[in-house]
């Protein structure tokens, strides 16, 4: 499913202020090409300077828009954006749709005046942040999985998804059965998963078991390719 199509469906849940069912999430997600290009850039920057970067993806009345990039530190990056949507009448036939993020215009386009919705809708779809790599004794770059802090920020918010761009792309998504917080046992599990990634393992079975038990949906794939659902 294309991300834009998914966003249209998620907009309904935003209006209703509820989470979708576990079965709602599709078998695969295809990201827009401009987002993939930015993620490649953020991935490269992090590998070069060891700093975490972040970009958020918003739905704004049938359009997918990307925020300006946030630059963090070697340990974290703030995921905070102010996004607004408005329509300005140009004449009796045309209007202008304007989306701003962090006081910058990120979308401006003309539309028929009749296309102005009764209730303009803008909501966060997901964000992607990077993790700097750790280096093995052999000089190979290895990347960690989502941290406990990452997970709890998502779980304690009204957001649907969160993404991680490292050597591959990860997305974790919530449903109506998702737990409310990662505790000590969950923290140990996430650390074990990251440790196994560092040692060159791919703990897909552990991911399937734990994420399913937590009521979370996980996607994985290469930048520019489909993200496949693995839980």
For the stretch 149-186, pLDDT in tens is 999 999 999 999 999 999 899 999 999 999 999 888 88
If pLDDT is split at 50, 70 and 90, which confidence band does 203 have? Answer: low
Whether residue 145 is contained in a domain is answered as yes
Whether residue 172 is contained in a domain is answered as yes
Whether residue 111 is contained in a domain is answered as no
pLDDT at position 59: 95
Whether residue 95 is contained in a domain is answered as no
Whether residue 113 is contained in a domain is answered as no
Domain total in the chain: 1
With 0-12 CB in 10 A as exposed, 13-18 as middle and 19+ as buried, what is 218? buried
Whether residue 86 is contained in a domain is answered as no
Mean pLDDT of 101-119: 96
Give the predicted TM-score (pTM) of the model: 0.90
Q: How far apart, in whole angstroms, are the C-alpha atoms of residue 136 and residue 2?
A: 36
pLDDT at position 167: 87
Q: How far apart, in whole angstroms, are the C-alpha atoms of residue 216 and residue 177?
A: 8
Is there a contact between 169 and 211 (Cβ–Cβ < 8 Å)? no
Q: Estimate the crossing angle of helix 184-198 against helix 204-213, to 10 degrees.
A: 160
Q: How far apart, in whole angstroms, are the C-alpha atoms of residue 214 and residue 220?
A: 17
Whether residue 27 is contained in a domain is answered as yes
Sorted by sequence, the CB contacts under 8 Å of residue 10 that are 6+ apart come out as 20, 59, 123, 125, 160
What range defines the domain where residue 199 resides? 3-79+120-229
Whether residue 12 is contained in a domain is answered as yes
């Amino acid at each position: 499913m294309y991300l834009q199509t998914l966003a249209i469906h998620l907009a309904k849940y935003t209006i209703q202020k509820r989470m979708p069912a576990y079965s709602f999430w599709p078998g695969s997600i295809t990201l827009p090409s401009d987002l993939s290009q930015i993620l490649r850039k953020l991935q490269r920057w992090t590998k070069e300077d060891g700093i975490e970067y972040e970009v958020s993806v918003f739905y704004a009345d049938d359009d997918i828009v990307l925020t300006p990039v946030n630059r963090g530190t070697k340990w974290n990056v703030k995921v905070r954006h102010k996004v607004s949507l408005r329509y300005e009448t140009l004449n009796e036939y045309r209007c202008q749709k304007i989306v701003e993020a962090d006081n910058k215009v990120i979308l401006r386009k003309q539309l028929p005046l009749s296309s102005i919705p009764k209730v303009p809708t803008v909501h966060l779809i997901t964000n992607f942040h990077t993790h700097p790599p750790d280096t093995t004794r052999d000089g190979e770059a290895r990347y960690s999985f989502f941290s406990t802090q990452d997970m709890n920020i998502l779980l304690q918010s009204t957001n649907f998804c969160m993404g991680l761009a490292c050597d591959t792309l990860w997305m974790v998504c919530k449903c109506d059965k998702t737990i409310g917080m990662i505790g000590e046992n969950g923290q140990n599990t996430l650390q074990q998963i990251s440790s196994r990634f560092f040692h060159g393992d791919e703990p897909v079975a552990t991911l399937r078991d734990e994420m399913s038990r937590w009521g979370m949906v996980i996607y994985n794939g290469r930048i520019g390719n489909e993200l496949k659902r693995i839980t």
